[in-house]
């Protein structure tokens, strides 16, 4: 029997998959991502296979298009994702360690995302700028279904931070808990929430609790990607920055800190810079490091 070109491609030598953590906190925690720096010749099926084998919430695949310009695609273990913040940071750090710090441009399925890298205190810090964001109301029936799947009551929400759909590359439902204890007690119906999110095209649910005017704690269920919870979600952080600006909850220019991953034992820190202008991209910064064990 004759093999097709696609079959031959899949039987080729395994791709070199790097493993990096992004948004770590003083060298600990963070969200791991797979990084394939040269994905030339790979089809979608092969990328999906690799992402499933790696098992992280996302793996990024790069194809160079010019000097410090790349096409980047992101795959969860179950499906392709238009934009992933932590895998973007991880990939930028991996490139900086090989090519030196500086500016790169990633062409994502959501649009172009410029990233700056620099070294601070011996660590590589990367800053992405999102595509133009948007924030809109959430349908009442969808909100009720999400709360039911989360096993949350509407009375447990923070009325000062109303539910919205925020997008800075993909859609995220933003829900604010009225207490840190409510946020810490995450025990949701994986199938029900995943089905709802898949129908509505939501990438994660951005669950937050406000510690202060500029410090938030977050948790991000990601059942459409086959992941119970993300340890650090750069795409959701960018969307949340847009949410804060749209609802006049910060006065731009402003910097917001998001602490995530604490409740799952992977402490992560995301720094979100919110510029003025309704359509200006949101900047999200964090460190990254090669996973060696």
What percent of the chain lies above the pLDDT cut of 70?
A: 95
Average pLDDT over residues 92-101: 97
Q: Report whether 207 contacts 239 (CB < 8 A).
A: no
- Name the pLDDT band for 26 (thresholds 50, 70, 90): confident
Q: Which of 3-12, 102-111, 252-261 has the lowest mean pLDDT?
A: 3-12
Q: Is 293 contained in some domain?
A: no
14 band by pLDDT with thresholds 50, 70 and 90: low
CB crowding 98-115: b at 16 or more within 10 Å, else e: eeebeebebbbebeebbb
Residues 6+ apart with CB under 8 A from 112: 105, 106, 131
Range of the domain at 42: 5-128
pLDDT digits (tens, 9 = 90+) for 42-85: 999 999 999 999 999 999 999 999 999 999 999 999 999 999 99
Say yes or no to pLDDT of 12 above 70.
no
In terms of domains, do 84 and 149 share one? no
Residues 19 and 114 grouped into a single domain: yes
The runs of H, that is alpha helices, within the chain are 5-10, 44-54, 85-99, 140-150, 180-184, 190-200, 234-246
Residue-averaged pLDDT of the chain: 95
Q: What is the DSSP letter of 220?
A: E
End position of a domain, from candidates 128, 151, 168 = 128
pTM higher than the cut 0.75: yes
Does residue 291 sit within a domain? no
Q: Quick one: pLDDT band at residue 15, thresholds 50, 70, 90?
A: confident
pLDDT tens for each residue of 105-163? 999 999 999 999 999 999 999 999 999 999 999 999 999 999 999 999 999 999 999 99
- pLDDT average, residue stretch 160-171: 98
Do 53 and 195 have their domain in common? no
- Which of 243, 267, 284, 289 shows the shortest CA–CA distance to 124? 289
pLDDT of residue 5: 40
Q: How many domains does the chain have?
A: 2
Domain for residue 250, yes or no?
yes
CATH number at 179 reads 3.10.310.10
Residues 223 and 237 in one domain: yes
- H helices within 154-233, ranges in order? 180-184, 190-200
Of 108, 128, 148, which marks where a domain is finished?
128
Same-domain check for residues 112 and 228: no
Which of 111, 128, 145 lies at the terminal end of a domain, its last residue?
A: 128
Assigned domain for 108 exists: yes
pLDDT computed for residue 8 by the predictor: 34
Task: Give the confidence band of 11 by pLDDT, cuts at 50, 70, 90.
Answer: very low
One domain, residues 200 and 75: no
Instruction: State whether 112 and 158 are in the same domain.
Output: no
């Amino acid at each position: 029997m004759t093999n097709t070109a696609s079959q031959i491609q899949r039987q080729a030598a395994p791709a070199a998959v790097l493993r990096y953590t992004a948004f770590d906190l003083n060298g600990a925690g963070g969200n791991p991502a797979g990084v394939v720096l040269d994905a030339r010749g790979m089809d979608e099926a092969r990328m999906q296979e690799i992402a499933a084998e790696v098992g992280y919430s996302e793996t990024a695949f790069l194809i160079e298009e010019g000097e410090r310009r790349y096409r980047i695609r992101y795959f969860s273990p179950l499906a392709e994702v238009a934009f992933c913040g932590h895998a973007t940071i991880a990939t930028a750090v991996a490139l900086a360690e090989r090519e030196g710090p500086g500016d790169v441009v990633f062409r994502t399925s959501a649009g172009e995302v410029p990233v700056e890298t620099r070294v601070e205190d011996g660590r590589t810090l990367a800053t992405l700028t999102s595509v133009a964001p948007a924030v809109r109301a959430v349908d009442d029936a969808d909100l009720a279904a999400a709360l039911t799947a989360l096993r949350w009551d509407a009375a447990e929400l923070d009325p000062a931070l109303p539910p919205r759909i925020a997008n800075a590359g993909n859609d995220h439902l933003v829900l604010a808990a009225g207490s840190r204890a409510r946020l810490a007690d995450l025990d949701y119906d994986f199938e029900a929430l995943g089905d709802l999110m898949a129908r509505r095209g939501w990438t994660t649910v951005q669950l937050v609790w406000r510690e202060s005017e500029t410090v938030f704690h977050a948790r991000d269920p990601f059942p459409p990607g086959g992941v119970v919870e993300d340890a650090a979600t750069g795409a959701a952080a960018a969307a949340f920055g847009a949410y804060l600006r749209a609802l006049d909850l910060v006065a731009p220019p402003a910097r917001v800190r998001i602490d995530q991953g604490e409740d799952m034992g992977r402490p992560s820190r995301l720094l979100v810079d919110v510029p003025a202008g309704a359509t200006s991209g949101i900047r999200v910064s964090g460190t990254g490091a090669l996973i060696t064990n």
